[in-house]
Amino acid sequence: MKIVQINATCGAGSTGKICVAVSKLLNENGVENYIFYSLNQSDYEQGIKYMSSKQTTIQAIKSHAFGNYGFNSKGATKKLIKKLEEISPDIIHLHNLHSHNVDLTLLFNYIKERKIKIFWTFHDCWAFTGYCPHFFMTKCYKWQTGCNECPQRKEYSWFFDKSAKLYEKKKSLFSGLDMTIITPSQWLADLVKQSFLKDYPVKVINNGINLEVFKPTEGDFVKKYSLEDKKIILGVAFGWGRRKGLDVFVELAKRLPENYQIVLVGTSDDIDKMLPNNIISIHRTQNQQQLAEIYTASSVLVNPTREENYPTVNMESIACGTPVITFNTGGSPEILNENTGSVVDIDDVDTLEMEIIRVCETEPFSKEDCLERAKSFNEIEKFSQYVELYTNI
């Protein structure tokens, strides 16, 4: 059996790390496999890069100029197909296809012609909409019947609204396949069943994390920032903005008592300009161990995300013994149980503030209960489910 995964990255970002984790499990089972990717550079020996950074940039510009998001990159896709022909895989596992890395028409026509079995992990909603990977903030549900007059069009196309045309092209291309859809959350699985992909089988496989890395880890974080007498309120994101709830933390910084300290990880110089002086901003950690130290030192992780699938940060925090408070968004609440955190309605900052104080002052969630819950986050067990799907074909 030969298996090829196709994704934007290999070993980098959440999707790239999933690809490599699955690949290593396949190696252990003696299965020949490869990862085709387009962004950044990977030293993973089974990773095959088929686009240059320059090509990706050019395709992104074309996509924004012509409004045909997902239907550029023809040259790169032909190169990808040529490599697929050389390998002749029995299974193709698709991940992120909306980083200007494929032309959907070429790729899916090839898959249909060769009658190749497909697994496709949806990391967001892009496969069944005209343009957008998320739509909750705009409260647009046109995808249930047919996209048009896209309220987010300017994010994906500078001049033209082709959302209706792209929706219909996807609907046609994604029909008649031997395909199983995989979603990390039940929330997303339920959405798929409301879309034009509803007739395909859907399997929920939660994402996992490395419990050898994310575990209670002592460090000098508290001493370094002189936080010995503080309740540390942590926020972790990569791509801070309104979608991730940056404005919520700015508001909380005005409200919380002086012995509470907000710490944001994953920020940048531009984000720093939006933050008040009483928020500690950490652009990036040196490594995952340092991130584990920050999780461990914190009183609570607050995740006021407004659009989400299955956020890894929730799992990482709980695995380090720190409870989570999240907005009721996407699959984020699915990670918590009654012993590891609480869920607040989206944009209810008053309740969020009260819940933060309750959690910090009364400590209703124990480290031991968090670590017990974290046992279910083991990435080896989670991604072994992918291998089981393959071997059952």
Cβ atoms of 187 and 202 within 8 Å: the answer is: no
Of the pLDDT bands very low, low, confident and very high (cuts 50, 70, 90), residue 284 is confident
Same domain, 265 and 367: yes
Phi, psi dihedrals of residue 251, rounded to the nearest 5°: -70, -40
Percent of the chain with pLDDT over 70: 100
Tokens of 71: 């239907």
Same domain, 152 and 269: no
Cα-based torsion angle of the residue sequence 77, 83, 89, 92 in order, rounded to the nearest 10 degrees: -30
Tell me the sheet residues that pair with 22.
Answer: none
Instruction: Write the CATH number for 263.
Output: 3.40.50.2000
Same domain, 185 and 305: no
Rounded Cα gap, residues 339 and 363, in angstroms: 11
Same domain, 251 and 351: yes
Domain region containing 200 = 2-208+379-391
Residues 6+ apart with CB under 8 A from 178: 115, 116, 117, 118
Same domain, 202 and 228: no
pLDDT given at position 393: 76
**Helix H or strand E segment including 47:** strand 47-49
Any domain includes 216: no
- Collapsing DSSP to helix, strand or coil, 82 comes out as helix
Residues 6+ apart with CB under 8 A from 372: 339
Name the least confident of 13-27, 189-203, 319-333, 360-374.
13-27
140 to 101, 347, 356, 373: CA distances (angstroms): 26, 18, 31, 35
**Helix H or strand E segment including 94:** strand 91-94
Same domain, 39 and 110: yes
Same domain, 24 and 141: yes
pTM above 0.85, yes or no: yes
**Quick check: 217 pLDDT over 90?**
yes
Same domain, 285 and 332: yes
Tell me the sheet residues that pair with 180.
Answer: 119
pLDDT given at position 117: 97
